[in-house]
Chains A and B, each alone.
Chain A
Amino acid sequence: MDQSVRGQCWQVPRLDREDRWIGGVAAALAREIGVQTLVVRLAFVALATVGGWGLVLYALTWAGLAIANPGRLSPYSPQPKGATSTHRVLAVVLITAGLAWAFEPYSNAAVSAIVLPVGLALSGVLIAWTRSGEGGTSALVRVVAGLVVAVGGFLAVATSRVEFVDAALALVFGLALVSGIVVVAAPSLVRMGRDLDRERQERIRADERARIGAHIHDSVLQTLLLIQQHGDDPARTRQLARRQERELRNWIYGASSDRSSGLRLGPALEFAASSVEAAFDIAVGVVVVGDSTDLVPGDIEPLIAASREAMINAAKHSGVERVDVYAERRAEAIEVFIRDAGVGFDAGAIDRDRHGLSDSIVARMERAGGAARITSEIGEGTEVELSMPIDQHAADPAGRLAVDS
């Protein structure tokens, strides 16, 4: 019930984008009435000869239809009007004749001198502007034809001898036509803008796809190949898979880190972690809280180097496959904790040989003005705590220079 009612409702005719010479108005009307497009076109031409009213009608119809149907809507299939097609053609002819007769009294000198030439000129411009779906020579022909008609129209206006009183009338007509043209041209302009936008988006999408494809090829496919080759070496396979996972994750979620101007704790630690994962059979989980971009290289670098040393230490000695790294930027200091749940050692009886811990971590942090503390218990794992006070006058030029150069 509901459906059938909607089916019977009259719909505004749709401009025909396929079967068209100018705007698809004739085709739209022909479809609505149920006659051949040629009949409507002839009707417009016939009316155009009566003081140019056909052109005005065409322009107004175009504007009306374009505004009524801004987008591509649901399928449109009108019922043919009238009993037979001859019937309908006759109707069109009669209506055209009637309109011509009705317009006749107004097609005086001023109207034929102004409306016709201006109409010609504007339709020429329109023809030139109308986008040709086919492109190439067809588009060129349209532009040239449009220009010829336009120039002809302007010349006709310029050379027509108009009396003074008629000139005022002509001005009114001219203004009406100009506003008409704006309305008529607007859909085309909007459409052109939309097309451009869509094309640009498609290009961006294609570029992005190519970039992703290249990246996948360089990274994931290579890694999969390596994994196939090292299938008999579980440690190596794990290592490869971890490195790839981290890299891909950084690529997906941390894409802009290389472009950010400031130095950040998270990416720096991730980088250190990935280098450790690449060299040892260990997974490094990095959690960063309160990261910001205003950190000073002079503070960060020793901290990252010491963290990396601690990770390596865990990889070498803990005997477990995972180390957790937690970094937090607090108000007064940056803290990093590197913790494994491995075998641990007796911190009191620390071996002099283990230079890694005392030199690379503790001494390095102290030289840079920070502190390191190592806690470990046999069977309970090891934790290295690093803390680096934040330089409050953060813009340390020396530190920045050291990194820039």
Chain B
Amino acid sequence: VIRIVLVDDHDLIRGGMRAVLDEECEVVGEAADVAGAIDAIARLKPDVVVCDVHLPDGTATDVIAGTIQRGVTTVFLALSVSDVADDVISVIRAGARGYITKATDSSEMIAAVKRVAAGDAVFSPQLAGFVLDAFATDLRAPVADPELDQLTPREQEVMRLLARGYAYKEIARRLTISIKTVESHAGAVLRKLQLPNRNELARWAADRRIL
């Protein structure tokens, strides 16, 4: 059974998620801030940490960094009500394996936790949209540095379908590939997103803030 630590500063939200997740997983701990989260994760060593992007004393990025510093390996699923691209992308770049919104319904939330626990990536339509926006799509001029990884046409296709609201299973059927293949495309996109030298990603985020 998947052991989960829940991090969110709102008791009601935590309670609601706990009720949902306890159906098929086990919520072993909760925390309401960055310091408490790092302590709980270090102590309980959960399989998955479901973590709100915005916390009173920091962000999910701080929790991820603190956890890495304490030498604990776990998997993060970021959770947010805000859909600001910068926040979401920065949490993903810090190492979160996925991102969902708090409006995600219960079965999808459980599926997302299971997916990240299995080492796969989870994209909400919003995150897939951010990714498509961040990586050069066909609208943009070719990037100056060909060394940088771009999305392959297949990865773009998967991201587009995710953004359109399709589940992995439906994408697999539509593209007549296996779910495993869809998952591996999503994982590849996540890795590209997390590469340290993605300069134009930073530039994109900066541009976005100006807009």
Contacts of B125 in A (CB 8 A): 285, 287, 324, 326
Known: A285-B125, A288-B129. A324 touches B139 (CB 8 A): no
- Would you call B164 an interface residue if the criterion is a C-beta within 8 Å of the partner chain's C-beta atoms? yes
Q: Do A289 and B165 touch across chains, with their CB atoms under 8 A apart?
A: no
- B residues 130-147 touching A (CB-CB < 8 Å): 132-133, 137-139
* Residue in A328, A331, A339, A380 whose beta carbon sits within 8 Å of that of B165 in the complex: A339
Contacts of A323 in B (CB 8 A): 165
- Would you call B1 an interface residue if the criterion is a C-beta within 8 Å of the partner chain's C-beta atoms? no
Known: A253-B84, A283-B103, A331-B138. A324 touches B164 (CB 8 A): yes
- Would you call A319 an interface residue if the criterion is a C-beta within 8 Å of the partner chain's C-beta atoms? no
- Interface membership of chain B positions 95-137, coded 1 if the CB is closer than 8 angstroms to chain A and 0 otherwise: 0000000010100000000000000000001101100110001
- Would you call B181 an interface residue if the criterion is a C-beta within 8 Å of the partner chain's C-beta atoms? no
Q: Which A residue's beta carbon lies closest to that of B137?
A: A290
Contacts of A209 in B (CB 8 A): none
Question: Would you call the interface of chain B mostly helix, strand, loop, or mixed?
Answer: loop
- Would you call B160 an interface residue if the criterion is a C-beta within 8 Å of the partner chain's C-beta atoms? yes
Q: How far apart are the CA atoms of A328 and B128 in the complex, in Å? A: 12
Q: Do A328 and B126 touch across chains, with their CB atoms under 8 A apart?
A: no
Closest chain-B Cβ to A163's Cβ sits at a distance in Å of 68
Chain B: interface residue total (CB-CB under 8 A): 21
Summed over the interface, the residue pairs from A and B with CB atoms below 8 Å come to a total of 56
Known: A249-B83, A326-B125. A339 touches B164 (CB 8 A): yes
- Would you call B53 an interface residue if the criterion is a C-beta within 8 Å of the partner chain's C-beta atoms? no
Question: Would you call the interface of chain A mostly helix, strand, loop, or mixed?
Answer: strand
Q: Do A326 and B83 touch across chains, with their CB atoms under 8 A apart?
A: no
Closest chain-B Cβ to A277's Cβ sits at a distance in Å of 12
Contacts of B138 in A (CB 8 A): 330-331
- Interface membership of chain A positions 312-337, coded 1 if the CB is closer than 8 angstroms to chain B and 0 otherwise: 00000000001110101111000001
Q: Which A residue's beta carbon lies closest to that of B173?
A: A380
- A residues 371-399 touching B (CB-CB < 8 Å): 380, 383
Closest chain-A Cβ to B161's Cβ sits at a distance in Å of 9
Contacts of A326 in B (CB 8 A): 125, 129, 160, 163-165
- Interface membership of chain A positions 230-243, coded 1 if the CB is closer than 8 angstroms to chain B and 0 otherwise: 00000000000000
Contacts of B137 in A (CB 8 A): 289-290, 328, 330
With A283-B103, A330-B138 given, can you name 8 additional A-B contacts, CB distance below 8 Å? A253-B83, A287-B128, A290-B139, A322-B105, A326-B165, A330-B137, A331-B139, A341-B170
Closest chain-A Cβ to B168's Cβ sits at a distance in Å of 13
- Interface membership of chain A positions 218-251, coded 1 if the CB is closer than 8 angstroms to chain B and 0 otherwise: 0000000000000000000000000000000100
Closest chain-A Cβ to B60's Cβ sits at a distance in Å of 18
Q: How far apart are the CA atoms of A119 and B144 in the complex, in Å? A: 66
Q: How far apart are the CA atoms of A282 and B163 in the complex, in Å? A: 18
Q: Which A residue's beta carbon lies closest to that of B101?
A: A285
Q: Do A289 and B164 touch across chains, with their CB atoms under 8 A apart?
A: no
Known: A326-B129, A328-B132. A285 touches B139 (CB 8 A): no
- Interface membership of chain B positions 157-186, coded 1 if the CB is closer than 8 angstroms to chain A and 0 otherwise: 000100111110010000000000000000
- Interface membership of chain A positions 245-276, coded 1 if the CB is closer than 8 angstroms to chain B and 0 otherwise: 00001000100000000000000000000000
Q: How far apart are the CA atoms of A290 and B125 in the complex, in Å? A: 15
Q: How far apart are the CA atoms of A330 and B156 in the complex, in Å? A: 13
- Would you call B152 an interface residue if the criterion is a C-beta within 8 Å of the partner chain's C-beta atoms? no
* Residue in A285, A329, A339, A341 whose beta carbon sits within 8 Å of that of B126 in the complex: A285
- Would you call B82 an interface residue if the criterion is a C-beta within 8 Å of the partner chain's C-beta atoms? yes
Q: Do B83 and A290 touch across chains, with their CB atoms under 8 A apart?
A: no
Q: Do B84 and A287 touch across chains, with their CB atoms under 8 A apart?
A: no
Measured CB to CB, the residues of B under 8 A from A are 82-84, 103, 105, 125-126, 128-129, 132-133, 137-139, 160, 163-167, 170
Q: Do A287 and B82 touch across chains, with their CB atoms under 8 A apart?
A: no
Q: How far apart are the CA atoms of A380 and B165 in the complex, in Å? A: 13
Q: How far apart are the CA atoms of A154 and B18 in the complex, in Å? A: 82
Q: How far apart are the CA atoms of A322 and B82 in the complex, in Å? A: 18
Contacts of B160 in A (CB 8 A): 326, 328
Contacts of B167 in A (CB 8 A): 341
Q: How far apart are the CA atoms of A323 and B164 in the complex, in Å? A: 9
Top 9 nearest A-B pairs (CB, nearest first) are: A324-B165, A287-B129, A326-B164, A337-B164, A289-B132, A326-B163, A290-B139, A339-B165, A287-B163
Q: Do B132 and A285 touch across chains, with their CB atoms under 8 A apart?
A: no
Contacts of A339 in B (CB 8 A): 164-166
Closest chain-B Cβ to A255's Cβ sits at a distance in Å of 12
Q: Which B residue's beta carbon lies closest to that of A329?
A: B139
Q: Do A287 and B166 touch across chains, with their CB atoms under 8 A apart?
A: no
Q: Which B residue's beta carbon lies closest to that of A292?
A: B139
Q: How far apart are the CA atoms of A323 and B163 in the complex, in Å? A: 12
Q: How far apart are the CA atoms of A329 and B103 in the complex, in Å? A: 26
Q: How far apart are the CA atoms of A331 and B140 in the complex, in Å? A: 8
Q: Offer 27 A-B interface pairs, CB within 8 angstroms, sorted by A.
A: A249-B82, A253-B82, A253-B83, A253-B84, A283-B103, A285-B125, A285-B126, A285-B165, A287-B128, A287-B129, A287-B163, A288-B129, A289-B129, A289-B133, A290-B139, A322-B105, A324-B125, A326-B163, A326-B164, A326-B165, A328-B132, A329-B139, A330-B137, A330-B139, A339-B166, A341-B165, A380-B170
Q: How far apart are the CA atoms of A301 and B129 in the complex, in Å? A: 22
Q: How far apart are the CA atoms of A322 and B104 in the complex, in Å? A: 10
Closest chain-A Cβ to B89's Cβ sits at a distance in Å of 14
Q: How far apart are the CA atoms of A283 and B160 in the complex, in Å? A: 20
Q: How far apart are the CA atoms of A326 and B157 in the complex, in Å? A: 13
Q: Which A residue's beta carbon lies closest to that of B84?
A: A253
Closest chain-A Cβ to B75's Cβ sits at a distance in Å of 25
Contacts of B126 in A (CB 8 A): 285, 287
Q: How far apart are the CA atoms of A304 and B33 in the complex, in Å? A: 42
